[in-house]
Amino acid sequence: MDFGPYLLLASLEGAVGAAVLALTAVGLSLVFGVMRVVNVAHGEFYMIGAVVAWFVATTVGTHPALGFVAALIVAPLVAAIIAIAADRLVLKRVNYDPEATIVATIGILYIIQQAALMGYGPEARPVEPPFNHRIALPWYDFAAGEWFYPWGLGTTSYKLFVIAVAIVLLLGFWALMTRTKVGLVMRATQLDWDMAQAFGIPVDRVYALVFGFGAALAALAAVLIVPIQQAHYLMGGDPLLLSFIVVIIGGLGSVRGTVVAAILIGMSDGIISVFFTPTLAKIIATMVVALVLVFRPQGLFGTKAA
Amino acid sequence: MGAVASLSLLQTHGLTRRYGGLTAVDNVDFALPEGQVHALIGPNGAGKSTFVGMVSGRIEASEGRVEFEGRDVTGLPTHKRIRAGMAYTFQITSIYARLSLFDNVALAMGNRNRDAATEALARVGLDDRADQIAGDLSYGHQRLLEIAMGVAQAPRLLILDEPTQGLAESEIEGFNAIINALRGQTTILLIEHNMNVVMALADAITVLDQGAVLATGAPEAIRADAAVQAAYLGSG
Amino acid sequence: MSAAQKSLALHLGLIGGLFALAFILPTYHHGNFARIMVLATYAIGYNVLFGYTGLLSLGHAMFFAAGMYGMGLAMQYGGVPALPALFLGIIAATILAAVVAVLALRTIGVAFMIVTLMFAQTGFLTILYFGEWTRGDEGFVLQQKVRQIAGLDLSDPMTRYLAAWVLFSVALLATARMMHVAFGGVLVAIRENEERTRMLGYNVFAHKFAAVVISGAIAGAAGAAYGLLFGYVGATFASVQYSIFPLLWVLLGGAGTTIGPFIGALFMFYLIDYSSGLTSAYMLIAGVALVLLTLFARAGIAGEIKRRWAPWLP
């Protein structure tokens, strides 16, 4: 394949990754923004989403689409319930102390991951997509002056569907945060904990809600991706790392910065991975994140606070 | 002032601090003669804490110079200024709450000499509590411990940022006695709101208002100054 | 007995007891204890930074691995004898720690944790990337014939035990001594109240820098010794899990106590050893322990003993 079609293919793969990453990272960013804690177990809620999707798909089992729709509802719910339980039982009791929360969520990470190993097993299992049509893509041949279909340049209807759903969900999230009372309450709590409490906002319940909501977003992302990748108990590591990268580059707690960074990182991860080895891409990414935190803690897109 | 300035322990020239568009401290020239107890007063937000922050190096100056013992220390990091002979007590009590009083004072002295630590604690009447945990002390006693730590550093200049804030009347009398006992041994720069304390202790007073020096002089002169009264004393 | 005498007696008692165990323990536990002493050394290094200085690193595996690979690569490809290779490992970890310190110490709190985590992840991935030499996940084995110092065969169980014992004893006594002198006091002061410490005239950055470097060097020594004594160098030791382990051991044993790292490493080693016989999900134990410790016993075992019964405990 020539460079042009190759780049288009890479961009499409990157866009799928970016879409899923944006959802996952927004969940992490929301939790950090409102609660001021870093949830290291975030990737495990993603894994829960994928594993639950597999369970639902195999249980429902009549038509892949039915299982998929059921998973879209059940998986985020399960993740949210587990997250809310973790918030009530652990995070609340350490008073959301930033360092203690990190240590506790590392513990929660291992508990969820190892529980999945016991309940689900060490195998990677595929989930059938609800629909999956191959779509060949045309490319313009400048020399011949005509459109043609290069061999290997194509995508699937499901991949395009993932991108579309992610966009819809992100817009919905944006509307929720800016247009509804729930969103207002969350933003108020983010701005000033004491003030929110003084105005009678049940901060405790908001925190539980936010933590559950963040986990649900990660689980949703996983339900979308699991027909393309496979469900595995260790699959939470990569999305956690990438979400971290995105949230830090985008500016801690800034949802808009997070989305922009997710698209940038997701796309470039997809594109870089096509041209370089994935390991080298990750080395560069982790290094950049560390250096951004050191030299520009407000993120690449954030503005410096006075 | 010219003759006094040559004997000054501390001088600032055009010291300025800006936060964005706001000028917290504006072009302050200040001279503190050796051995003096000098009070810095002014309404809230007048820039007093910012000013001493720049003197001690906690806050970087936007413009101007700080001279200590005739040496330009503007570029020196905090710890070097402290090593050069400054001591600073925080407006909000800052001690080692989980360590013993002895440990607190020992860290201030830079050695673990038991007698010297006891002596420093004795100055504030806490010598019988050397092995208690500092966080268990009452608020007033914690403030006294902080003063003891400042004294234990054997500084040439002791900066006290609102030391009597939150103290009871009886404790304030004790504080006055402590400062009077230090008089002549060390130079003291005192930020203070309580005018009774200021009038009882200060050899000289500088009034800051909106970041600038409004007046400097002996307590009686300051009390009589109409501008000061308008800006500050009258409102209190 | 004064507190200083008691603590000296405690340390020498522990070291003496471990020496005696070399000749008493049955084979299986003999091997375990050799491992535990090396891992406890790693934890001692971690404790210098986390327990005493109050800096929570999530990336200490990079120092452990720097020691291990510095040693292992020098032996495998440079033909360097065991003892100089051990020192090369320590030097590699020390240099890495100095570089990481300069960068990471510009941050505090959560950012410091994430920066160290990211640097360690970079290190781990770098080891995988250069798989041609490091053999990646698979790792490489150091042949028995090269694992010798002054004619002593380090693969012999008794020699290995005693070598681990020497390493642990030196680390324990050195850090106990360090915490007894003024330098250690300043580290604790920084942990307790950084701003106050700066305003007492201490160079906070220099002390933190020294703490990171000492901590990294001890972790590197443990990593180099681990590779040398057990004859294996692998990327697992650079993974996140090996950054979490020392945190877990120190939290369990008691952060900021001299014997806490050993107690934590001992307990956790046997807990995981026991549970891995029951299930492949043995890391569940680590997860549960982290959560319970955070919730109910932040001071850890030695910390609780110190609080309840023995305030003199160093």
Q: Which residues of C touch A (CB under 8 A)?
A: 56, 58, 103-104, 106-107, 109-111, 113-115, 118-119, 121-122, 125-126, 128-129, 244, 247, 251, 279-284, 286-295, 298
Chain C residues within an 8 Å CB radius of A248: 114
Does residue A56 fall inside a structural domain?
Answer: yes
Which residue in C has a C-alpha nearest to residue B154's C-alpha?
A: C200
Q: Is the dihedral of CA B129, B131, B137, B143 positive or negative?
A: positive
CB burial of residue B6 (10 Å; 0-12, 13-18, 19+): exposed
- Those residues with Cβ within 8 angstroms of residue C76's Cβ, 6 or more apart along the chain or in another chain: C140, C142, C233
- Determine how many CB atoms are found less than 10 A away from the CB of residue B68: 23
Q: How many CA atoms lie within 13 A of B57 on its CB side?
A: 24
Q: What CATH number should be reported for the domain holding residue B226?
A: 3.40.50.300
Tell me the one-letter amino acid at A98: P
First and final C-alpha spacing in chain A = 51
Q: Do C284 and A115 touch (CB under 8 A)?
A: yes
Tell me the nearest-neighbour CA distance from B235 into chain C, angstroms. Answer: 34
Comparing CB atoms, the residue among B58, B103, B108 nearest residue C200 is B108
State how far the Cα of A299 lies from the Cα of A251, in Å rounded to an integer: 4
Q: What pLDDT score does A302 carry?
A: 56
Q: What pLDDT score does B2 carry?
A: 42
State how far the Cα of B119 lies from the Cα of B112, in Å rounded to an integer: 13
Query: Is the separation of the CB atoms in B186 and B158 below 8 Å?
Result: yes
Model ipTM?
0.86
Q: What pLDDT score does B98 carry?
A: 92
Total of domains in chain A: 1
**Residue range of the domain that includes B177:** 34-58+77-233
List, as one string, the DSSP characters of chain C. --HHHHHHHHHHHHHHHHHHHTTTS-HHHHHHHHHHHHHHHHHHHHHIIIIIT----S-THHHHHHHHHHHHHHHHHH---HHHHHHHHHHHHHHHHHHHHHHHTTS-HHHHHHHHHHHHHHHHHHHHHTHHHH-TTT-EEPPGGG-EETTEETTSHHHHHHHHHHHHHHHHHHHHHHHHSHHHHHHHHHHH-HHHHHTTT--HHHHHHHHHHHHHHHHHHHHHHHHHHH-EE-GGGGSHHHHHHHHHHHHHH-TT-SSHHHHHHHHHHHHHHHHHTT-S-THHHHHHHHHHHHHH-TTHHHHHHHHHT-TT--
* Total length of chain A: 306
State how far the Cα of A239 lies from the Cα of A220, in Å rounded to an integer: 13
Chain C residues within an 8 Å CB radius of B151: none
- Determine how many CB atoms are found less than 10 A away from the CB of residue B77: 14
Does residue A301 fall inside a structural domain?
Answer: no
- Determine how many CB atoms are found less than 10 A away from the CB of residue C291: 23
User: What pTM does this model have?
Assistant: 0.89
Chain B residues within an 8 Å CB radius of C198: 78-79
Does residue A305 fall inside a structural domain?
Answer: no
Tell me the nearest-neighbour CA distance from A147 into chain C, angstroms. Answer: 40
First and final C-alpha spacing in chain C = 14
- With bands split at pLDDT 50, 70 and 90, how would you rate the model's confidence at C11? very high
Answer left, alpha or beta for residue B121, where phi above 0 means left and psi between -120 and 50 means alpha: alpha
B160 forms bridges with which residues in the sheet?
B89, B190
Tell me the nearest-neighbour CA distance from C254 into chain A, angstroms. Answer: 15
Total of domains in chain B: 1
* Tens digits of pLDDT across chain A (306 residues): 677 777 788 788 889 989 999 999 999 999 988 888 889 999 999 999 999 999 998 888 778 888 899 999 999 999 999 999 999 999 999 999 888 898 999 999 999 999 999 999 999 998 888 888 888 888 887 888 888 887 777 788 899 999 999 999 999 998 988 888 888 888 888 777 777 777 778 888 899 999 999 999 999 999 999 999 899 999 998 899 889 888 888 876 677 888 888 988 888 776 776 677 778 888 888 898 899 889 887 766 655 443
Q: How many CA atoms lie within 13 A of A42 on its CB side?
A: 32
**Residue range of the domain that includes A227:** 3-295
Q: Between A3-35 and A42-60, two packed helices, what is the crossing angle to 10 degrees?
A: 110
3-state secondary structure of A186: helix
> Among B78, B72, B232, B216, which Cα is nearest to B159's?
B78
Chain A residues within an 8 Å CB radius of C287: 106-114
Chain C residues within an 8 Å CB radius of A107: 286-292, 294
Residue C189 tokens read as 């002061």
Phi, psi (5° rounding) for residue C105?
-75, -5
Q: What pLDDT score does A306 carry?
A: 31
Q: Tell how strand A134-136 and strand B71-72 pair up.
A: unpaired
Query: What is the b/e burial string over C48-83, where b = at least 16 CB atoms within 10 angstroms of the residue's CB?
Result: bbbbbbbbbbbbbbbbbbbbbbbbbbbbbeeebebe
Q: What pLDDT score does B109 carry?
A: 93
Tell me the nearest-neighbour CA distance from B79 into chain C, angstroms. Answer: 4
Q: Do B96 and C189 touch (CB under 8 A)?
A: yes
Q: Do C294 and A280 touch (CB under 8 A)?
A: no
Comparing CB atoms, the residue among A106, A117, A290 nearest residue C118 is A290
Q: What pLDDT score does A300 carry?
A: 65
Which residue in B has a C-alpha nearest to residue C195's C-alpha?
A: B94
DSSP one-letter code for B230: I
Q: Do A110 and C122 touch (CB under 8 A)?
A: no
Q: What pLDDT score does B231 carry?
A: 67
State how far the Cα of B47 lies from the Cα of B39, in Å rounded to an integer: 14
B117 forms bridges with which residues in the sheet?
none
Tell me the one-letter amino acid at C252: L
HEC string of A252-283 equals CCCHHHHHHHHHHHHHHHHHHHHHCCHHHHHH
Condensed to tens digits (0 to 9), the pLDDT of residues C159-202 reads 999 999 999 999 999 999 999 899 999 999 999 999 999 999 99
Chain C residues within an 8 Å CB radius of B56: 199
CB burial of residue A187 (10 Å; 0-12, 13-18, 19+): middle
Ranges of chain B whose pLDDT falls below 50? 1-5, 235-236
Using the predicted structure, report yes or no on whether residue C62 has a pLDDT greater than 50.
yes
Q: Domain boundaries in chain C?
A: 3-237
Tell me the nearest-neighbour CA distance from A104 into chain C, angstroms. Answer: 5
Query: Is the separation of the CB atoms in A39 and A112 below 8 Å?
Result: no
Q: What pLDDT score does B150 carry?
A: 92
Does residue A41 fall inside a structural domain?
Answer: yes
Q: Do C200 and B112 touch (CB under 8 A)?
A: no
Residue B27 tokens read as 């072009």
Does residue B187 fall inside a structural domain?
Answer: yes
Chain C residues within an 8 Å CB radius of A115: 281, 284
Chains that touch A (3 or more CB pairs under 8 A): C
Q: How many CB pairs under 8 A join B and C?
A: 52
Q: Is the dihedral of CA C181, C187, C191, C192 positive or negative?
A: positive
Does residue B224 fall inside a structural domain?
Answer: yes
Condensed to tens digits (0 to 9), the pLDDT of residues C129-140 reads 999 899 988 899
State how far the Cα of C255 lies from the Cα of C294, in Å rounded to an integer: 12
State how far the Cα of A207 lies from the Cα of A203, in Å rounded to an integer: 6
- Determine how many CB atoms are found less than 10 A away from the CB of residue A207: 23
Does residue A66 fall inside a structural domain?
Answer: yes
Comparing CB atoms, the residue among C126, C251, C284 nearest residue A111 is C284
List, as one string, the DSSP characters of C257-279. -SSHHHHHHHHHHHHHHHHHTT-
- A286, A292, A296: which to substitute to probe chain C, counting the most C Cβ within 10 Å? A286
Condensed to tens digits (0 to 9), the pLDDT of residues C214-230 reads 999 999 999 999 999 99
CA distances from C54 to A95, A179, A297, C191, C243 (A): 19, 43, 21, 5, 16
Query: Is the separation of the CB atoms in B95 and B142 below 8 Å?
Result: yes
B207 forms bridges with which residues in the sheet?
B41, B215
Query: Is the separation of the CB atoms in B158 and B150 below 8 Å?
Result: yes
Condensed to tens digits (0 to 9), the pLDDT of residues C105-129 reads 999 888 899 899 999 999 999 999 9
Q: What CATH number should be reported for the domain holding residue A274?
A: 1.10.3470
Query: Is the separation of the CB atoms in B163 and B201 below 8 Å?
Result: no
Q: Apex CA C222: angle with CA C220 and CA C223, to 5°?
A: 65
Q: Do C185 and B107 touch (CB under 8 A)?
A: yes
Using the predicted structure, report yes or no on whether residue C262 has a pLDDT greater than 80.
yes
Q: Do B82 and C200 touch (CB under 8 A)?
A: yes
